[in-house]
A and B are shown apart, each in its own frame.
Chain A
Amino acid sequence: MAEDKIAVYFCHCGTNIAGKVDVEKVTAWAAEQPNVVVAREYKYMCSDPGQDLIKDDIKNLGVNRVVVAACSPTMHEPTFRKAAADGGLNPYLLQMANVREHCSWVTEDRDDATAKAKRILNAQIHRMPFNESLEPIEVPVNPAVMVVGGGIAGIEAALKLAQSGKKVYLVEKNPSIGGHMAMFDKTFPTLDCAACILTPKMSAAGKHPNIEMLAYSEVTQVDGYVGNFKVKVNKKARFVNTDTCTGCGLCLEACVVRKVPNEFDVGLSKRSAVYIPFPQAVPLRATIDPEKCLTKKGKKCKQPCVAACGPGAIDFDQQDEILELEVGAIIMATGFQLWDPAQDARYGYGRLDNVITSLEFERISNASGPTGGHIVCKNGEAPKSVAILHCVGSRDQNYQEHCSRVCCMYSLKFAHLIKEHLPETEVYELYIDMRSYGKGYEEFYRRLMDEGVHMVRGRAAEVTDVALSPEEEGRLVVKTEDTLLRIVRRIPADMVILSSGLAPASDAKSVAQTFGFGCSANGFYLERHPKLEPVSTVTDGIFIAGCCQYPKDIPDTVAQAGAAAAGALALVDNPTVKVEPTISYIDPEKCSGCHICVSLCPHVAIQYNEEKGVAEVISAACKGCGVCVAACGSNVPQQRGYLDDQIFAEIEGAMAV
């Protein structure tokens, strides 16, 4: 405070600020303010010459406090603080005055905007004398990474990280990794068999020495902060010893409980109480479903599984294991769930036979599925006509507003598979817009038109079994307006496939909460920036990839997984990471030990020191949220960089103009 020499820089930001605020006037006014030794205006402060102005004035004029009136600190605070640092000034002696997002962009009248810009700037000018030098806190970084979710996104991210030498924990809640992709038949537009391209990656992930596979496990608690996460994982009991089980499958055959709806076949087939989800499961180990197993339910059972098991791997007394793991970064790849079309009665899903969802069709079409790959109706006969309805539950203000991106393409894929299996069958695609945006997609669409698939532009109004003419007897009828032909059509179909949209996983919100980040309005995980930071979250160290962020196809999922791995690697490949020093500090002389702040801290960053009888902030865990500062009745905790003096000075400055 002794000899404050404040430099003020007013950025034009092209016309973004200068178009509304009288920059010259405010800069001239600023030059007159107490402690201001120089006030400059410049077209683009964030440019190199702009930054040089700051560096030069620090060196030549001995400036020791800097205010940059420009855009939001979210944009360029790091830029300007680095410029200050390069000029030899502690970066925390530089503040930004947001005269763009808070002023020029939101004020209609020029005079009002200019007056407001003055107030915003004056607040910072008044604050500057109270700013202190602060040193960033460097914390060590744990090089291990946790990937939550073992679908294609999680597998890809885990492999990339493992290949770069990092230890990866791959946590998957189902007994096997593979996710939804393992359920698909062929994938668009190349018509690769999903299992054929996925299983090598699954296998590699299962074998990689750097990947610790934690299948049939769920994260229950996450504490800590970037570089230092402490995660509790519940490794659920399979009641099968995974070290001795060979995955031979004899127990499955022996089990007396045979009628459990098979989740992998979307309920279209049955499994036993002891099961392996699918033949290519990784890890290839049996699991006992405690809700269906007679022994686990306390009922009598001869336990033929035990008898059948050569290595004697069945262990009914196995317990859940809680693992406490420490990692430096976390990648969320928890995927999606299919929108349930039972929510809209007009499709008849659940009431009418042969109205099926897309996932159900994938299993029917899949050679390892419930029908052995034969596309048949419930009565076992091949359909003579199939209608594929787009936009089920999507682009609809009553259900999900968003477009699910992949449905047009997978619908076309279904048409191809049907035509391949059943060349005589008529296939109808009922769509609003055909979204074939990706590489090879438009060509795929053209291919399907060439295969004679009927493209009907119209969103299906309803699916009914009421026959109003002889051709409709005993069949389903899809009623729709063919908007291009301008007629209402009743399309007879033996099978109706509902191309249901991708929805966020049912527990997305609670999972996000457990990990400490948020969801967007449509329920998917929220990225830090929709264009520039699609795989980061607002929480440092936590990344997201795949459909948990938003519906997308496999190519984009794999790309995002790689991006998330790179993001995590950029973090954990360094021994330390710098954490903002704008954290809370509790003066032990003034603290009365009342505990209020301890219980209120949302990041569990304050502990009570029994010996001294005072509260203490765990610097590394504190996120600088300010709750303790506000809560303390004696005004003891102070947040560095946001001291009471600084805040009151800002208020005074703003009110003084």
Chain B
Amino acid sequence: MTELATTPQAKALHRQFVEDVMSMPGGEKIRICQQCGTCTGSCPTSYLMDYGPREIIAAFRAGMIDRVVKSNTIWLCTSCYSCTVRCPANIKITELMYELKRLAIKYDLTPKDSKSPAMTKYFLDSVRKHGRNHEVELMAKYMLTKDWSLPFKFMGTGLKLFLAGRLPLAAKDIRGRDEIGRISAYLEAEEAKAR
């Protein structure tokens, strides 16, 4: 039993997580996971994970949510879908990973040293601002806030890309860019109503 699983808050969190995952189309299929390991075996980044996708499903079923969100697993998923197409129980593992990422962000349970959540946030900011993802802005923001070594690592490549015209500095705003923000506002309001 972990600390998260024993406190009332933890139990409530687990219930919430389960409810959210079960409401995904096909989410209930994690109940029939045979723990065969095909997903972890197929995953190109599982060797880097604290717990492979198979263990994440086992931990989830056992209520060990802390393992699920505190581990680096879900943030190392590249959504390549190899697991999903091979899973003999037809579990949409990639979608589960997305859902767990969303839940981790929602409940502010991301691991301190993971950089992916930040990348994600900047991506969203860029899209909300311009309507499209401005790659230069995204990379610049990320590098400057999360990884100072990157500008040095990519100096050579970056220069070549810039000279090839593949890194436009100016962002192209779409006319309807405010719609993106309004869509989000609408959905947030609906979610608040439901709660």
* A residues at B contact (CB < 8 Å): 346, 391, 395-398, 432-433, 457-462, 479-483, 486-488
Do A483 and B37 touch (CB < 8 A)? yes
- Report the minimum CB–CB distance from A464 to chain B (whole Å): 11
Do A486 and B52 touch (CB < 8 A)? yes
Tell whether B47 is near chain A: CB-to-CB under 8 Å.
Answer: yes
| Supplied contacts A391-B36, A483-B54, 12 more A-B pairs, CB within 8 Å | A457-B37, A458-B37, A460-B41, A461-B42, A479-B41, A480-B37, A481-B37, A481-B46, A481-B52, A483-B36, A486-B55, A488-B47
B53 — nearest CB in chain A belongs to which residue?
A: A481
Assembly CA distance A354 to B36 (angstroms) = 24
Q: A488 and B41 in contact (CB under 8 A), knowing A459-B36, A481-B52? A: yes
Do A397 and B41 touch (CB < 8 A)? no
Do B90 and A483 touch (CB < 8 A)? no
Do A458 and B36 touch (CB < 8 A)? yes
- Report the minimum CB–CB distance from A519 to chain B (whole Å): 23
B83 — nearest CB in chain A belongs to which residue?
A: A461
Give 26 pairs: A residue, B residue, CB < 8 Å, sorted on A.
A346-B86, A391-B36, A398-B90, A432-B36, A433-B34, A458-B37, A458-B41, A459-B36, A459-B38, A460-B41, A461-B38, A461-B41, A461-B86, A462-B41, A462-B42, A479-B41, A480-B41, A481-B38, A481-B39, A481-B46, A481-B54, A482-B37, A486-B52, A488-B40, A488-B41, A488-B43
Among the listed A391, A395, A481, which residue makes an inter-chain contact with B40, where contact means beta carbons less than 8 Å apart? A481
Q: Is the interface of A mostly helix, strand, loop or mixed?
A: loop
Assembly CA distance A480 to B39 (angstroms) = 9
- Report the minimum CB–CB distance from A287 to chain B (whole Å): 41
Q: List the B side residues contacting A346 at CB < 8 Å.
A: 86
Tell whether B184 is near chain A: CB-to-CB under 8 Å.
Answer: no
Do B34 and A397 touch (CB < 8 A)? no
Do B34 and A481 touch (CB < 8 A)? no
Q: List the A side residues contacting B34 at CB < 8 Å.
A: 395, 432-433
Assembly CA distance A461 to B37 (angstroms) = 8
Residues of chain B in range 5-54 having any CB-CB distance to chain A below 8 Å: 34-43, 46-47, 51-52, 54
Q: List the B side residues contacting A397 at CB < 8 Å.
A: 88-90
Do A488 and B52 touch (CB < 8 A)? yes
A458 — nearest CB in chain B belongs to which residue?
A: B37
Assembly CA distance A459 to B35 (angstroms) = 9
Q: List the B side residues contacting A432 at CB < 8 Å.
A: 34-37
- Report the minimum CB–CB distance from B19 to chain A (whole Å): 25
B50 — nearest CB in chain A belongs to which residue?
A: A486
Q: List the B side residues contacting A395 at CB < 8 Å.
A: 34, 36, 88
Q: List the A side residues contacting B47 at CB < 8 Å.
A: 487-488
Q: List the A side residues contacting B42 at CB < 8 Å.
A: 461-462, 479
Q: List the A side residues contacting B88 at CB < 8 Å.
A: 391, 395-398, 459
Q: List the A side residues contacting B41 at CB < 8 Å.
A: 458-462, 479-481, 488
Assembly CA distance A396 to B87 (angstroms) = 8
Assembly CA distance A391 to B86 (angstroms) = 13
Q: A483 and B35 in contact (CB under 8 A), knowing A461-B41, A462-B42? A: yes
Q: List the A side residues contacting B55 at CB < 8 Å.
A: 486
- Report the minimum CB–CB distance from B58 to chain A (whole Å): 9
* Most central of A395, A460, A461, A479 by chain B CB within 10 Å: A461
- Report the minimum CB–CB distance from A483 to chain B (whole Å): 4
Assembly CA distance A483 to B53 (angstroms) = 11
A399 — nearest CB in chain B belongs to which residue?
A: B88
* Most central of B37, B42, B86 by chain A CB within 10 Å: B37
Assembly CA distance A316 to B47 (angstroms) = 65
- Report the minimum CB–CB distance from A195 to chain B (whole Å): 35
- Report the minimum CB–CB distance from B159 to chain A (whole Å): 32
Among the listed A398, A460, A488, which residue makes an inter-chain contact with B46, where contact means beta carbons less than 8 Å apart? A488
- Report the minimum CB–CB distance from B78 to chain A (whole Å): 15
- Report the minimum CB–CB distance from A296 to chain B (whole Å): 46
- Report the minimum CB–CB distance from A520 to chain B (whole Å): 20
Q: List the B side residues contacting A398 at CB < 8 Å.
A: 88, 90
- Report the minimum CB–CB distance from B86 to chain A (whole Å): 7
- Report the minimum CB–CB distance from A496 to chain B (whole Å): 14
- Report the minimum CB–CB distance from B153 to chain A (whole Å): 24
Q: List the A side residues contacting B43 at CB < 8 Å.
A: 488
- Report the minimum CB–CB distance from A189 to chain B (whole Å): 25
Residues of chain B in range 46-96 having any CB-CB distance to chain A below 8 Å: 46-47, 51-52, 54-55, 86, 88-90
- Report the minimum CB–CB distance from A497 to chain B (whole Å): 18
B55 — nearest CB in chain A belongs to which residue?
A: A486
| Closest 8 A/B residue pairs (Cβ) | A461-B41, A481-B37, A396-B88, A481-B40, A459-B36, A458-B37, A481-B41, A461-B42
* Most central of A398, A479, A481 by chain B CB within 10 Å: A481
Q: List the B side residues contacting A462 at CB < 8 Å.
A: 41-42
Assembly CA distance A19 to B43 (angstroms) = 53
Assembly CA distance A391 to B89 (angstroms) = 13
Assembly CA distance A214 to B55 (angstroms) = 56
B90 — nearest CB in chain A belongs to which residue?
A: A397
Q: List the A side residues contacting B35 at CB < 8 Å.
A: 432, 483
Assembly CA distance A396 to B52 (angstroms) = 20
Q: List the A side residues contacting B90 at CB < 8 Å.
A: 397-398
- Report the minimum CB–CB distance from A566 to chain B (whole Å): 38
Q: List the B side residues contacting A458 at CB < 8 Å.
A: 36-37, 41
Q: List the B side residues contacting A488 at CB < 8 Å.
A: 40-41, 43, 46-47, 52
Assembly CA distance A488 to B39 (angstroms) = 10
Q: List the B side residues contacting A479 at CB < 8 Å.
A: 41-42
- Report the minimum CB–CB distance from A339 to chain B (whole Å): 13
- Report the minimum CB–CB distance from A468 to chain B (whole Å): 12
